[in-house]
Amino acid sequence: MNENTDIRIIGRSGTRLSLIEDTLLTHPEFRVQRKLVVDFSKDAIADERTSDVLIADLSDNWEEELALLGSMRRASERAPLIVVSSEDSAEIIKAAMKAGARDFFTHPLPGDDLVAAIAAISGESKVRDVVPSSVTLVMNAKGGAGASTLAANIACLMSSTRRRDKTVLLDLDFAGAHQPLYFDLKGASDVREALSYVHSLDETALQGYTLEHSSGVHLLAATQDLAMYENTVSDTALAEFVSLLSMCYQQVVIDLPRPAEPNVLPLLQNADKLMIVMQQTLTDVQGAKRLLGYLDSAGVPRSRIRVVINRFENRHPVTHDDIESTLGDVEILSVPNDYKHVSTALNAGEPLVERTRNAPVTTAIRALTDNILGVRKKARRRFFGILPPKSADTEQNAGGKAA
Ligand SMILES: Nc1ncnc2c1ncn2[C@@H]1O[C@H](COP(=O)(O)OP(=O)(O)OP(=O)(O)O)[C@@H](O)[C@H]1O
Ligand SMILES: [Mg+2]
C-alpha cells in the first residue's frame, strides 16, 4: 500500500459522508477529504482524478450518478471508484459494476472490507501513475491511403523491444478487417461480440477476444464473416470499450475506417493523437481538408492532429507545399512510397518494421511513432561536443520532407 493514500469521498448527504469518514479514521495512512455536492457533476469528479481512490456515496438519483461516473472511466478522467449506497439492490450493484466501480458497499459499512478494497486499489495506482495510457486514431482522408498499414506498424513499434509499451490494436473495420492478415493471425472471437458485452467485460474477459503477436501487440478485430456484419454499435458502447482498453493497455491504437460515422465522434473528441493518412492526389487533399473541418467543428484541437502523406514522392505534381498551404495550421509528416518492401511484408504477414528495419519507409514510420509518443530526436554525440542534427536533405531521403 502507498505510505499515504489520498481518498476523496463525494456525495449529497453530509451525514453519510461522515459515516464513511469515521470508518477510515483509524488508518493514519489514509488522507481523507470529503466533498459535499448538490449534484454529481463532471467537474466535481474530474477535480479529484489525481487522488488514489474516489468513494461515491449514491443518492436517490443513483441512476444518473452512476451513468456520469461510467462515462468517465479513463484513468485520466476519474480516480478508481468505490461505490457506497444505502440501498442493497441487485439493480444498483449491476449499474455500479457497469460504471466501472471496483467495489460496492452498503451502509452500515463493513470497515475491514472497505479498507481492504482501498488497499488493493492503492497498490495498483502506483503502477498506473508510472504508465499513463494514450489513444491514437489512424484514419484515411480517402479510402486506400494506407491507414491500416501505418496503424499496424505504429502499434508494432510501440510494443517493440525498444519501448515495450503494453499495446493493443483495435481494428474497427467491421466489414473487412485487414489487421489479422498484416500480422498473419487468426482465431480469436469477434470484436463485435466483445462490444455487445461491453458492460460486463473486464480485463480477463477481454483477453478471450484478443490475438497476440510475437511483437507483443494484442489485436482486436472482426472475423471475416460478413454475414455477421452489422454496424449497430452505439457511440457510448464504443467509448466505454475504448475506455476499458485504456485501463488495460498503455497504448491503444485504433484503425478507424470511417471517421465521419456518428458513433465514433466521442473517440475523435477524446483521442490523444489523430493521424489523418492521405496520398498526393487532389481528392485526398480535398478529403483531408474536409476531415480537418469536421474535426474543427467537433472541437478537436489541431495540436492533437497530424496529417501523414503516405507513399510520398518528391517529384510529384501535388507537392508537400501545395498540401501544406491548402490544409493550413496542422503538422504534416510523410512516409515514402516503397511498394516492394511494403507489399512483400504484407504478403508474408510480417509487420514491415520487423521485416525491413533499415529501409527509408521504416525509418519514416519510426519517426512518425516517435512523434506520436512525443519522443525528441537525440542529438548525435561525439567524443567532443554534440553534432548538429542531420540536414533536411538526409531527412528527406529517410522519411520524406517532414517525417
Ligand atoms: N508507404 C507505402 N508504400 C507503398 N505501398 C503502400 C504504402 N503504404 C501502403 N501501401 C499499400 O497500399 C495498399 C493499401 O494499404 P492499406 O490497406 O493500409 O490502406 P487502407 O487505407 O487501410 O485501405 P482501406 O481504405 O481499404 O481500409 C496496400 O496494398 C499497401 O501495401
Ligand atoms: Mg484499412
Q: Does 231 score more than 80 pLDDT?
A: no
Backbone angles phi, psi at 108, to 5 degrees: -70, 140
Q: Are 360 and 375 contacting, i.e. CB atoms less than 8 angstroms apart?
A: no
What is the rounded distance in angstroms from the CA atom of residue 192 to the CA atom of residue 231?
Answer: 9
Q: Could you give the 3-state DSSP secondary structure of residue 125?
A: helix
What is the model's pLDDT at position 100? 84
What is the model's pLDDT at position 124? 65
What is the model's pLDDT at position 202? 80
Per-residue pLDDT tens over the stretch 341-353? 999 999 999 999 9
What is the model's pLDDT at position 107? 93
Q: What is the mean pLDDT of residues 61-71?
A: 92
Domains of the chain, start order? 5-130 (3.40.50.2300), 134-399 (3.40.50.300)
Cell 502499434 sits at which residue?
155
Give the torsion sign (CA, 389, 390, 395, 396). positive
- Mean pLDDT, all residues of the chain: 87
Question: What is the 337 CA–ligand 1 centroid distance (Å)?
Answer: 10
Q: How many CB atoms are closer than 10 A to CB 236?
A: 15
- Cross-sheet strand order for the sheet of 167-171: 211-212, 218-220, 167-171, 251-256, 134-140, 273-278, 305-312, 331-336
178 lines ligand 1 (CB under 6 A): yes
Torsion angle, alpha carbons of 79, 132, 267, 54, to 10: 0
Ligand 1: which residue has its CA nearest to atom 4? Answer: 339
Q: How many CB atoms are closer than 10 A to CB 234?
A: 12
What is the model's pLDDT at position 98? 81
Per-residue pLDDT tens over the stretch 68-104? 998 887 767 888 999 999 998 999 998 888 888 888 9
51 lines ligand 1 (CB under 6 A): no
Radius of gyration, alpha carbons of the chain: 24
Give the torsion sign (CA, 126, 127, 131, 134). negative
If pLDDT is split at 50, 70 and 90, which confidence band does 328 have?
very high
Per-residue pLDDT tens over the stretch 42-61? 999 999 888 999 999 999 99
What is the model's pLDDT at position 384? 43
- For a mutational test of ligand 1's pocket, the pick from 149, 170, 172, i.e. the residue with the most ligand atoms closer than 8 A to its C-beta, is 149
Query: What amino acid is encoded at 79 in this protein?
Result: A
145 lines ligand 1 (CB under 6 A): yes
What is the rounded distance in angstroms from the CA atom of residue 310 to the CA atom of residue 364?
Answer: 10
Q: Are 133 and 141 contacting, i.e. CB atoms less than 8 angstroms apart?
A: no
Q: What is the mean pLDDT of residues 160-165?
A: 72
If pLDDT is split at 50, 70 and 90, which confidence band does 36 have?
very high
Per-residue pLDDT tens over the stretch 302-323? 999 999 999 999 999 999 999 9
Q: Which ligand is nearest to the CA of 146?
A: 1
Backbone angles phi, psi at 193, to 5 degrees: -70, -45
Q: Which ligand is nearest to the CA of 181?
A: 1
What is the rounded distance in angstroms from the CA atom of residue 309 to the CA atom of residue 303?
Answer: 17
